[in-house]
Amino acid sequence: MTIQLNDITIQSTDNLALTYGVMTNPNPLQIDTTGSISIVVSKSARPAAQCTSLTFSINIGTAATDLTATPSTISASPPPNWGVSSDGNGNFTFTPNPGQGEIGPTGLSFVLSNIDVNKQVGTTELYITETLQSGTSSGSIPIPKFPQGFTVSDLIATPASVAPGGTATLSWSGTAGGVYTLSYGSLSYPNLPNVYTFPVPPLQQTTNFTLTVTADGGLMLQRQCTVTVNQPIIQEFGVAGNQSEFLVGSEIQLYWTTENAVSCSLKLNGITIAQNLSANMDASQGYPVTVPLVAEAAQYMLYAYDSTGKYPTSLPLTISVFQFKLLPNPIGNITYLAGQMVMRTDGTLYIAGSGLDVVSTASNTIIHSIQWPNLEGGMELSSNSMVMSPDESQLYVLTTNNVYPNSSSVIQVVNLSNYQVRSIPVPWLLGEIAMGTHNGRSCLVATDLVKSDDPLGPSSCIYVLDPSNNCGLIQKLALPNLSMDILAAVASPQGDRIFLCSIDGSDQTDSKGTTLYTYTIASNTLSQVQFSGIQPSALGNAFAFSAVSNRYYIGGAQVDLAKKQFLPAIAVIDANTNQVVDTILFPDPNPFFDFVRSLVLSPDGLHLYAQVETTDMDGSGSDTIVRINLNTFQVVGTVASPNDAQFQSWAVKPDGTCLYGVVGNTVSTLYLFEISDGLNALRASTAS
């Protein structure tokens, strides 16, 4: 239990659940006068207490330990929605109206007034019995009765607030005959005059002062006051735009707001970089700084100073500085018409084209090559034509002879332990493939192509195939119409659903929008959600699903037919609601045709890498690789494509330190983009 007497907190061992704040009038209570006792009852901690009754009792008689000899004169005042009864023997019971007994942090006030205080100096007790839903407890509060006319003024600090190192005076005026003691911190000054002005030495921090007055008979009274030391306070310190990661060497704008400060200084990683700065720096302008030239978790420290400059306050700001750059030595002689990549969790990279190349990302060298059997006149890969089994023991690659008209595909099954290949012809021309789960076992889910002379054309069916039975048909679903140009397929983490992205219309200049389909394998059903505003790319895999955020990301372009412009954009879709929750936009360089061609997620799901393709008015084109922070949806880094290369597929090393992009042609090339990230160090510093 906590008891407050005359604004002084008294600790008691009594087992009371509520807090009692007691004030007397006059203060202190004096003998042979008419007085009152006000009790504020509260409970600061949640939940609020449900009170059934409160009883306050006093001692009756003429002795020093009694309060009054005439209890019949006392008036009891309850708070609203409460009632009160008295037995005439000094017991006052307050009870709430039904449903009105809640006591919380704001408290309730109970008053005993018109008390005819007896003539004996001493200390009496105010007894408390509280009955709550949780049970009944009791305790008491000592109330001193001072001689008539005994008063002590408030303890007054002048001034009430000072700067660090500032001084103040404390003053009081009380009746003679008591012992006056001032204390604060570990210091105590006894036997001070009853009327006095006490000089306080220089203060470095906010300090509470207590004046204790004792009189004959063990009476005690206390007064308190506080002198606030106005130390500099940093209220805000951040980066304009509220980003947290930046490319090495980039310029950022810092902002801050302070109180009680006249100037600031700035350090970077413990080294002072600026002094005598303004006490406040608006975010709309900001203070320009250049982030370090190395990837790290960089710490800026802002110091705020008062007028003396001796007592600064500091606040750190840690940012992630990353390096995103093209490495100088690409890997050449990659398989002809390379168009698909899959990364194994051990860092082995598989690149599919007219054959399969196996690349060690530890040494960045080709360690094995395979040529697909039984291909005539080359081959063709769609945007999702290679998947890996959940146990990473098999690769499944859709291959199609590019001699038109085509009628069927071949599924190349690669055993990754010995690189043996089984070629399984299927009676359909397949376009997209994903790995799912049917009856607890792995299955392949594929879509077909209606037009044998158009590898990017519409689909008519979804097929579920059994990889353990020569990719035999388990089930199929006829699509509801033949205008569904399915561009990409991604499986849910459990493999029970396949997400399909489709252009909704005859071609990419049709601005009807995009349809996102969910194929549920167990029920062999298809649901859809249509949204406008983004036309997905038909030339790459611009569809990704993040299990971390449970969101889809669909890259393409926002279409402005009036201006004949396509602006690169990525739609962000909540997988729970199938609603577009945001759109990631890019600066417009005013090209004729500009769109997001491919997307790939970082292994930790915190970043998205986008390939933005630009075609200028003269017909020339180029790619830009963009790194996007998926917490803020902000573009945090870009790298220009080397030699205007246009990439077919992307993969990220499992540790997130390298981005791989393949350019498929008669001579295919694998480019490496280094990602030196301060984000890991930033996480470590935050965790500690």
Q: Which pLDDT score, from 0 to 100, does residue 490 have?
A: 86
* Lowest pLDDT segment from 166-170, 494-498, 591-595: 591-595
Residue 580 pLDDT grade (very low, low, confident, very high; cuts 50, 70, 90): confident
C-beta atoms surrounding 105 within 10 Å: 11
| Domains parsed from the chain with CATH numbers | 2-145 (2.60.40.2230), 156-229 (2.60.40), 233-325 (2.60.40.10)
Mean pLDDT score, 468-475: 95
Mean pLDDT score, 396-405: 72
* Lowest pLDDT segment from 93-97, 112-116, 295-299, 374-378: 374-378
* Lowest pLDDT segment from 284-288, 423-427, 530-534: 530-534
Residue 631 pLDDT grade (very low, low, confident, very high; cuts 50, 70, 90): confident
* Lowest pLDDT segment from 589-598, 625-634, 657-666: 589-598
CB 220 within 8 A of CB 247: no
The Cα 631–Cα 602 span in angstroms is 13
Q: Which pLDDT score, from 0 to 100, does residue 578 have?
A: 76
Q: Which pLDDT score, from 0 to 100, does residue 400 have?
A: 77
Residue 44 pLDDT grade (very low, low, confident, very high; cuts 50, 70, 90): confident
CB 676 within 8 A of CB 322: yes
Q: Concatenate the DSSP letters of all residues of 578-630 into one string.
A: TEEEEEEE------SEEEEEEEEE-TTSSEEEEEEEEE-TTS-EEEEEEEEET
Mean pLDDT (the chain, rounded): 86
Share of the chain above pLDDT 70, in %: 86
pLDDT above 90 for 621: no
pLDDT above 50 for 82: yes
CB 508 within 8 A of CB 567: no
CB 144 within 8 A of CB 123: yes
* Lowest pLDDT segment from 115-129, 132-146, 520-534: 520-534
Q: Which pLDDT score, from 0 to 100, does residue 399 have?
A: 85
Residue whose pair of structure tokens reads 């500099």 in the numeric block: 232
The Cα 382–Cα 356 span in angstroms is 15
Q: Which pLDDT score, from 0 to 100, does residue 405 have?
A: 55
- Per-residue model confidence as pLDDT tens digits over 360-371: 999 999 999 998
| Dihedral sign for Cα atoms in the order 213, 219, 223, 224 | positive
The Cα 338–Cα 357 span in angstroms is 9
pLDDT above 60 for 508: no
Q: Which pLDDT score, from 0 to 100, does residue 646 have?
A: 80
Q: Which pLDDT score, from 0 to 100, does residue 2 have?
A: 42
Tell me the two tokens of residue 536: 């997905």
Q: Which pLDDT score, from 0 to 100, does residue 150 have?
A: 92
pTM (2 decimals)?
A: 0.69
pLDDT above 50 for 13: no
Mean pLDDT score, 292-312: 89
- Per-residue model confidence as pLDDT tens digits over 513-543: 567 788 999 999 998 776 666 776 656 678 8
Q: Which pLDDT score, from 0 to 100, does residue 442 have?
A: 95
Of 481, 374, 470, 391, which Cα lies nearest the Cα of 435?
A: 391
Mean pLDDT score, 40-60: 93
Share of the chain above pLDDT 90, in %: 53
CB 2 within 8 A of CB 11: yes
Residue 591 pLDDT grade (very low, low, confident, very high; cuts 50, 70, 90): low
pLDDT above 80 for 397: yes
Q: Which pLDDT score, from 0 to 100, does residue 436 have?
A: 95
CB 419 within 8 A of CB 358: yes
Q: Which pLDDT score, from 0 to 100, does residue 182 have?
A: 97
Mean pLDDT score, 317-346: 90
- Per-residue model confidence as pLDDT tens digits over 191-238: 999 999 999 999 988 999 999 999 887 888 899 999 999 889 999 999
Mean pLDDT score, 25-50: 92
Q: Which pLDDT score, from 0 to 100, does residue 451 have?
A: 58
